[in-house]
C-alpha cells in the first residue's frame, strides 16, 4: 500500500522499518522538526524517525502544525491509501484524519481504554499494572478513543523499568502494525469500538512528581522509581562530604525491613526504609556522572545514617 508514516522518537523507528521491509511504499514520513542541540543550542538535531527515514530514502516532512490549509492539501495530494501514526506528537485535525483513502491508524502503547494519553508506559508501571500491550486503532477526533483493530499483550515484570517496557512494546508494535496493514490491504481488518468503562488517562509526567517521598508505601515507591527510569528519572538527595546532591534512582526492588522513612537499613547496600516496607536501590546516577550499580556507587560515594532524604 501507499503509506504516510507519522512518528518522531526512537519508539516509532521499528514500525517504520518494518513497514518498509514488508514492501509497502512509504510515500512520505512526517516527524517533528529538528530541535536545538549542543551546549549553546546552535546546532539542530533531527528526530530518530527523521534519520531513519532519510537512511531508507523516504521523503521527510517536518511541519510545525497540520492546522494550515496548505499543509492539509499537501498531505492529501500524496494520494496515500493510509497513514500510520506512532508517537508523532502533533494533533491531527479532521482533514488529516480523512486525508487518505482508508484513514489513520495509530499504534498505542496500552490496553485501551486504559491509559489513553501521553505517558501510557510510565503510568502503567507507576500504577503497579502487571500487564499492558500494544493496540492498533483507527483514529478519530478524540484522545485515543477510536475503534481497535488488533491487540497484543505484554507482561510487566516486578522490577521492569519504563525503558525496558518501552523497548519491548516498540518491537511488539512494529510486528503488530505490519499484520494490521496486511489485513487492511486484504479488506479483512475488523474494528471493535472501545468499551465505555475502564477509561483512565496517562497524563504527561510533571517535574514536581519525580522526587521520591520515602514516607510512602514501599511498593508504590518501587513502582515510582522504575516507572520513571530512565527518563525523566525519580530522584532523592544524598549527602557527600557534607554537601547534599541530587541523585537519580534508575532501578530498584522491594526489600524486607522497616525503620524511619528515608533511613538506610543495615546489612544490604542502599536499602532504604519507607513508610511501610523498604526499597533496595540497585542502580543510581549522580548529576553529571554515569549510571552505576549500587556496589560501584557506594565505593565512590559512601553513605552513613542521615545521608539520604
- pLDDT of 291 reads 97
- pLDDT of 268 reads 66
- pLDDT of 256 reads 87
288: left (phi over 0), alpha (psi -120 to 50) or beta: left
Domain's final residue, options 154, 185, 201: 201
**Residue 70 to residues 97, 175, 197, Cα–Cα distance (Å):** 15, 34, 39
Q: Would the pLDDT of 261 be above 90?
A: no
| Residues ≥6 apart with Cβ < 8 Å to 55 | none
Say whether both 186 and 225 belong to one domain: no
Mean pLDDT (whole number) for 229-256? 95
Residue 235 · residue 249 · CB < 8 Å: yes
- pLDDT of 96 reads 98
Local confidence band at 300 (pLDDT 50, 70, 90 cut-offs): confident
Flag whether 111 is marked binding. Answer: yes
- pLDDT of 289 reads 93
Q: What percent of the chain has pLDDT over 70?
A: 98
Say whether both 178 and 248 belong to one domain: no
Say whether both 221 and 283 belong to one domain: yes
Q: What is the pLDDT of the chain when averaged over all its residues?
A: 95
Flag whether 113 is marked binding. Answer: yes
Model-level pTM? 0.94
Q: Would the pLDDT of 176 be above 60?
A: yes
Question: Treating both helix axes as pointing N-terminal to C-terminal, what angle do 13-21 and 48-55 enclose, rounded to 10 degrees?
Answer: 20
Mean pLDDT (whole number) for 61-80? 97
Q: What percent of the chain has pLDDT over 90?
A: 87
Note down the domain range covering 290.
207-300
Tell me phi and psi for residue 154, to 5 degrees. -135, 130
Q: What is the pLDDT of residues 194-210, one digit of tens each?
A: 999 999 999 999 999 99
Say whether both 232 and 256 belong to one domain: yes
Flag whether 47 is marked binding. Answer: no
- pLDDT of 199 reads 97
243 lies in some domain: yes
Say whether both 288 and 259 belong to one domain: yes
Residue spans of alpha helices (H) in the chain = 13-21, 48-55, 69-76, 94-97, 120-126, 162-186, 218-227, 294-300
Q: What is the pLDDT of residues 262-274, one digit of tens each?
A: 877 655 678 999 9
Local confidence band at 222 (pLDDT 50, 70, 90 cut-offs): very high
Say whether both 129 and 245 belong to one domain: no
Q: Is 91 exposed, middle or buried (0-12, 13-18, 19+ CB in 10 A)?
A: exposed
Rounded to whole angstroms, the Cα distance separating 265 from 258 reads 8
What's the CATH number where 144 sits? Answer: 3.40.50.170
Q: What is the pLDDT of residues 229-240, one digit of tens each?
A: 999 999 999 999
Say whether both 69 and 50 belong to one domain: yes
pLDDT greater at residue 113 or residue 258: 113
Say whether both 238 and 261 belong to one domain: yes
Say how many domains are in the chain. 2
The set of cell numbers assigned to 291 is 549510571
Say whether both 243 and 196 belong to one domain: no
Say whether both 94 and 14 belong to one domain: yes
Local confidence band at 24 (pLDDT 50, 70, 90 cut-offs): very high
Domain's final residue, options 151, 184, 201: 201
Q: What is the pLDDT of residues 44-57, one digit of tens each?
A: 999 999 999 999 99
**Residue 165 to residues 49, 93, 156, Cα–Cα distance (Å):** 20, 30, 7
Residue 108 · residue 83 · CB < 8 Å: no
Amino acid at each position: 500500500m501507499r503509506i504516510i508514516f507519522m512518528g518522531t522518537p526512537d519508539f516509532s523507528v521499528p514500525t517504520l522499518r518494518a513497514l518498509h521491509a514488508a514492501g509497502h511504499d512509504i510515500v512520505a514520513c512526517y516527524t517533528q522538526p529538528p530541535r536545538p542541540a549542543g551546549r549553546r543550542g546552535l546546532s539542530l538535531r533531527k528526530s530518530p524517525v527523521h534519520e531513519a527515514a532519510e537512511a531508507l530514502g523516504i521523503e521527510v516532512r517536518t511541519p510545525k502544525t497540520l492546522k494550515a490549509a496548505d499543509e492539509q492539501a499537501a498531505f492529501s495530494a500524496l494520494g496515500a491509501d493510509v497513514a500510520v501514526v506512532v508517537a508523532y506528537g502533533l494533533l491531527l485535525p479532521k482533514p488529516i484524519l480523512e486525508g487518505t483513502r482508508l484513514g489513520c491508524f495509530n499504534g498505542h502503547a496500552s490496553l485501551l481504554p486504559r491509559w489513553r494519553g501521553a505517558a501510557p508506559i510510565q503510568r502503567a508501571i507507576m500504577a503497579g499494572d502487571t500487564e499492558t500491550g500494544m493496540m492498533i486503532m483507527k483514529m478519530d477526533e478524540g484522545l485515543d478513543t477510536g475503534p481497535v483493530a488488533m491487540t497484543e499483550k505484554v507482561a510487566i515484570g516486578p522490577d521492569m523499568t519504563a525503558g525496558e517496557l518501552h523497548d519491548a512494546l516498540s518491537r511488539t508494535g512494529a510486528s503488530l502494525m505490519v499484520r494490521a496493514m496486511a489485513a487492511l490491504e486484504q479488506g479483512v481488518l475488523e474494528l471493535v469500538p472501545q468499551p465505555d468503562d475502564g477509561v483512565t488517562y496517562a497524563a504527561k509526567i510533571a517535574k514536581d512528581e519525580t522526587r521520591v517521598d520515602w514516607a510512602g508505601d514501599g511498593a508504590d515507591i518501587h513502582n515510582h522509581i522504575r516507572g520513571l527510569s530512565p527518563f525523566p528519572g525519580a530522584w532523592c538527595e544524598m549527602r557527600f562530604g557534607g554537601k547534599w546532591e541530587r541523585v537519580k534512582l534508575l532501578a530498584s526492588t522491594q526489600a524486607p525491613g522497616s525503620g524511619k522513612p528515608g533511613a538506610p537499613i543495615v546489612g544490604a547496600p542502599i536499602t532504604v526504609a519507607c513508610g511501610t516496607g523498604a526499597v533496595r536501590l540497585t542502580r543510581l546516577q549522580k548529576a553529571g556522572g554515569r549510571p552505576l550499580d549500587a556496589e560501584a556507587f557506594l565505593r565512590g560515594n559512601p553513605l552513613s545514617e542521615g545521608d539520604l532524604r
